[in-house]
Chain A
Amino acid sequence: MRNIFFIILITCMSALNLYGQKQDNSVNELYNQAVDQIKARDYSQAIDYLDAALEKKPAFQKGYFERGKLYFQLDSTRRAIRDIKRAIDLGLESGEAYFYRGYLDYANQQYDSALQKLTRAIQSGYKSSRVYYIRGLVQYALADYEGAIMNFTMAIDGKYDFTYAYHERGSAKMQTGDIQGAVNDFKKALTYNNKLPFLYNNLGRALAENARYQKAIEQYSQALKLDPNYYQAYVNRGIARISREKYEKAEKDLKKAVNIAPDQARSYNNLGLLYMNTRAFDKAIEQFNRAIEKNQELPEAYLNRGLARENQGNRDKACLDWKMAKELGHKKAADYLDDCD
């Protein structure tokens, strides 16, 4: 009797095992078809296959993970987080999974948590350039610029032509005051990709920071050659031209920026400053008013309007503006208020 029971048990287990294997095969086949679609860049179709695979096998870790990655590519961040988290909860022990969790935390501005997960990804052996790069971005966001520089350097060590990593390292160097270092990194980034307007724009900014305004203007002009509607470069070139007292050309640039991006408060603010330089305080105030109309939380516009009003002898109104700038968190506003009652 015992033998019969044992035989039945073994038979059942074998049958179950066979069923399981058979089911895994169909799941894996769906997964592989998803991979084929991914290679063909048809992410939606790939997600359909993964949906089908997950319907057959709801505990399919890799299915969730890869679907999460695809959602991330398709900018469906919430779904991406849900799937990648599910994969990890189901026991997926993968450095890449932690990398993605870390990145998604970064995208959601949860920087401490992002840092933890990215570090875990690295500790679990996932030492790709991309993980160092994203960890650099997180440290930049946490204002740990030295840490960011180190991570971007690691990213570059793993991928010598990593344009973005050179660029971000340059930006971090700007923050630490190493302007020449930043200039060098931006230039290096441009040697690997000279088709990105923002690289020229930021190189221009670094040069302007070193008071090399003419060189900066040349870089902004390069950016504008690549993208004639790149309003940021118009704004910056306008500012550089103010520094060189080329007011007419500066006005053209700043007005062009306003035309391209009429909702950008910064353009009006800088146009106002142009008029401050030419001592046309009424016109300056008009522009600062516009800047504030577009962005009521731009403290610089209040500070500058206050300065224009002070220049017109209207100290009381100037003080009101500086008070507003202080409320908006501008560090210098408190000093200005020293002159107010």
Chain B
Amino acid sequence: MNHRTFILFVSMMLLTLVLYQKAQGQQDVRIKRRQFKIDHKEGFSSAWKHRRKGDRAYDKGYGHYQVALSHFKKAHDYNPQNAALNYKMGVCYFKQNQLNQAIKFFNRALSQDEQVAIDVYYLLGRAYHLNYAFDQAIENYQRCLEPDILEELEHKRKTINAYVRQCSNGQKLVKNPVRVNINNLGPAVNSKYPDYGPVFVRGGELMYFTSRRKHEDNDERWLGDNRFYSDIYRAVQVDGAWKNTHLIDEEIFSPHNDAVVEATQDPLRIYVYRGQKDEGDIYYYEKDGDRWRGPKNFSRMINTNAKESAMCFSKDGNTLYFVSTFEARSFGKKDIFMSRRDEDGDWGRPINLGGMVNSSLNEEGVFVNSTGDKLYFSSEGHNSMGGYDLFVAERDVDGNWQEPKNLGYPINTPFDDLLFRKVEGTANKAYYSSVHDENVGAKDIYEIIFLGEKRDLHYTPIREPLAWKARPQKEMLYQVPQKLAIDTTLYVTGKIIDSLAREGIQAKIQVIDNQKNKVIATHLSDTNGHYMLQLPEQKKYGIEITAQGYLFYAHDLDLNQAPVKNDTLRRNFSLDKVEVGTKMVLENIYFETNSSKLKPSSYPELKRVVKLMQSNPGMKLEISGHTDDVGSYLANKKLSRARAKSVVEYLAEQGVDRARLTYKGYSFTQPIATNDTPEGRQKNRRVEFKVLEK
């Protein structure tokens, strides 16, 4: 009979089934056949068989709940209304940490039978508590404290009250989460069984940890909790990833519950809790070449007949912090102690760290930082939110430990948060064992990364703040310029001369804008007849020149046709002196077709004649009409005479004494140009006057 079989045998002898059930934490509830069977419904026999198989697995406790559940589910298919079955299914889910399902089935059982089990409120409270639903947890815990239930659960009164306090702590802690990342070390390290208690050597590259996983030399369960025995494993970190996880060398392997609690680099030692005798003591192994030498009892001063389960050295190795259940010196069941190494290298008498650190409940897993002024540990007391929470106590200047502070949510959970370790040189990183959503197994090893103050992420949205920058529209700024005025001024210069004497005479020159029928310039030539006219643009103007004792000159001057050079037209004008017998063709005299009626356009020229006569009061004129040779002589004679008469009539109307005017029609007898061309005939159709007296 090996050691493990022996333990099993003894345990079976000692523990009754009832006690065993109590150890598992739930009540023995029977599913009664009478209540389970549904009249006239087929399938009872099979369902009942599954109920029985389920109960059998259920009664075995941890490790068997999944099997129990698979049978209960089949029974449930037959009768989902059975409160006891639903309760048991709730328990199965609860024990497997499937809390939402547990809550669902406990509530269902309660709705079917409020008295299904005396601990149903308690378990429902636990499920809510572990699921962070602190309000509902408190509600259910408080229901347990009501007299009808408390009567049966009196032995749990202290525990329930503690849970209520923990829920209250949890409410506060969850409201103020600390800034950390909690990373599961992943399946390379964690198994589906509990994994915990990492310690480090080689600057954090080599990790030893404890696991309760099943392996070929470990296929039996420890009766204490029906889980597999614990053994020590190792893993190495390569480029930030944990690899090569395997069971530690066989020299260290034992048939007991082994757990690594500390390791040192120089000399390379691992310190092992071994649950062999006295509830468990600490031993160590030292590496000698390729082999581990040991186990050696760590210290008779430290290892007592109580359980010593965790330890940590100060950086210099001369101070030891450890956990012991040594009752005579404890505040609670398990407390943290300190011991100093004396000059001979022996450990001194352990000192309890005192009531500031140790609560009335259990403490576990101790770690001191490299400067020795911060002590990390787990406690069920203080302001834990459930199970063991991690705390840190700081030492004041006098060396006294101050009130521990909860490391906060999400480091701490309503589950056990244990065995905190830091690797020297990585100030913002630590490791511990806990239960989170990411769990690979029942308890996993996690990395904690402590983050600084809350930081915003720095997005770089792209706003184009100015439309002008995004899409400049220069056209928007552009104004098309106005054209500049062009100076079109022309100059007409020359001399006014006597037509016979060819000498210059002073004369008045008027320039008429024919389009506007308006005098636009008046100029007086000098006594030598020189003149210069400034005309605004190159077009046809009317020019009228008058001089005392001379007949007027009135003609158009078309600058577009004239030989303009360098904006200047040189032009002399000759005037005929007023002499008896002098003739002058009146330009610009127009009649209606085949009529003697004057057109108004003739009036300017006729007015010039009026002026001439006014400035020469003794002057008498003969007004004569002339035609071309088209038509008969007599008809042309009549027309030319009538037209001459019309001119005389107009002049008379303008105030010229009729006695000074005579008129005659000469038909085509006095041509001044050929009648063979239209231009010649045009010239021959005219009105002229002849000076009769001056």
User: Measuring CB to CB, which residues of chain A are less than 8 angstroms from any residue of chain B?
Assistant: 18, 21-22, 24-25, 28-29, 31-32, 35, 38-39, 62, 66, 69, 72-73, 96, 100, 103, 130, 134, 137, 140, 163-164, 167-168, 171, 174-175, 189, 196, 198-199, 201-202, 205, 208, 231-232, 235-236, 239, 242, 265-266, 269-270, 273, 276-277, 279, 298, 300, 303-304, 307, 310-313, 315, 330, 332, 335-336, 338-339
Name the distance in Å between A72's Cβ and chain B's nearest Cβ.
Answer: 7
Q: Which of B445-482 contact A (CB under 8 A)?
A: 447, 449, 451-453, 455-468, 470-471, 473-482
* Interchain CA distance A335-B464 in the complex, whole Å: 28
A72-B474, A73-B475, A307-B457 are known contacts; what are 17 more A-B pairs with Cβ within 8 Å? Answer: A21-B489, A31-B483, A35-B481, A35-B482, A62-B481, A130-B477, A140-B465, A168-B468, A189-B467, A196-B467, A201-B462, A266-B462, A270-B459, A310-B452, A310-B455, A313-B447, A336-B455
Name the distance in Å between A16's Cβ and chain B's nearest Cβ.
Answer: 13
Q: Is B238 an interface residue (CB 8 A)?
A: no
Question: Which residue of the partner chain B has the closest CB to A29?
Answer: B486
**Residue pair A21, B487 in contact (C-beta under 8 Å):** yes
Contacts of A189 in B (CB 8 A): 467
Given A239-B461, A304-B457, A338-B453, A163 contacting B428 (CB threshold 8 A): no
* Interchain CA distance A338-B464 in the complex, whole Å: 33
Q: Is B181 an interface residue (CB 8 A)?
A: yes
Cross-chain pairs A/B with CB under 8 angstroms, 19 sampled: A21-B489, A38-B480, A39-B480, A130-B477, A137-B468, A140-B465, A171-B465, A199-B467, A202-B463, A202-B464, A205-B463, A232-B462, A236-B463, A270-B461, A307-B457, A313-B426, A313-B428, A313-B447, A338-B453
**Residue pair B477, A313 in contact (C-beta under 8 Å):** no
Contact of B427 among A32, A265, A315 (CB under 8 A): A315
Contacts of B475 in A (CB 8 A): 73
* Interchain CA distance A137-B468 in the complex, whole Å: 8
Contacts of A311 in B (CB 8 A): 181, 449, 451
Q: Number of B residues whose C-beta is below 8 Å from A?
A: 47
Q: Is B558 an interface residue (CB 8 A)?
A: no
Name the distance in Å between B545's Cβ and chain A's nearest Cβ.
Answer: 23
Given A18-B566, A311-B451, A339-B453, A134 contacting B462 (CB threshold 8 A): no
* Interchain CA distance A298-B462 in the complex, whole Å: 13
Contacts of B460 in A (CB 8 A): 235, 265-266, 269-270, 298, 300
* Interchain CA distance A239-B460 in the complex, whole Å: 9
Contacts of A199 in B (CB 8 A): 467
DSSP class of B's interface residues: helix, strand, loop or mixed? loop
**Closest 10 pairs (CB-CB, A-B):** A339-B452, A300-B458, A232-B462, A313-B449, A266-B460, A28-B484, A313-B429, A167-B467, A171-B465, A32-B483
**Residue pair A38, B458 in contact (C-beta under 8 Å):** no
Contacts of B427 in A (CB 8 A): 315
Question: Which residue of the partner chain A has the closest CB to B473?
Answer: A164
Contacts of A270 in B (CB 8 A): 459-461
**Residue pair B487, A25 in contact (C-beta under 8 Å):** yes
Contact of A38 among B461, B481, B487 (CB under 8 A): B481
Q: Is B485 an interface residue (CB 8 A)?
A: yes
Contact of A198 among B458, B461, B471, B483 (CB under 8 A): B471
Contacts of B451 in A (CB 8 A): 310-311
**Residue pair B567, A22 in contact (C-beta under 8 Å):** yes
Given A73-B474, A198-B470, A66 contacting B453 (CB threshold 8 A): no
Contact of B462 among A31, A167, A235, A279 (CB under 8 A): A235
Contacts of A300 in B (CB 8 A): 458-460
* Interchain CA distance A116-B394 in the complex, whole Å: 64
* Interchain CA distance A164-B471 in the complex, whole Å: 10
Contacts of B463 in A (CB 8 A): 171, 174, 201-202, 205, 236
Name the distance in Å between B491's Cβ and chain A's nearest Cβ.
Answer: 8
Contacts of A96 in B (CB 8 A): 479
Name the distance in Å between A275's Cβ and chain B's nearest Cβ.
Answer: 11
Contacts of B456 in A (CB 8 A): 332
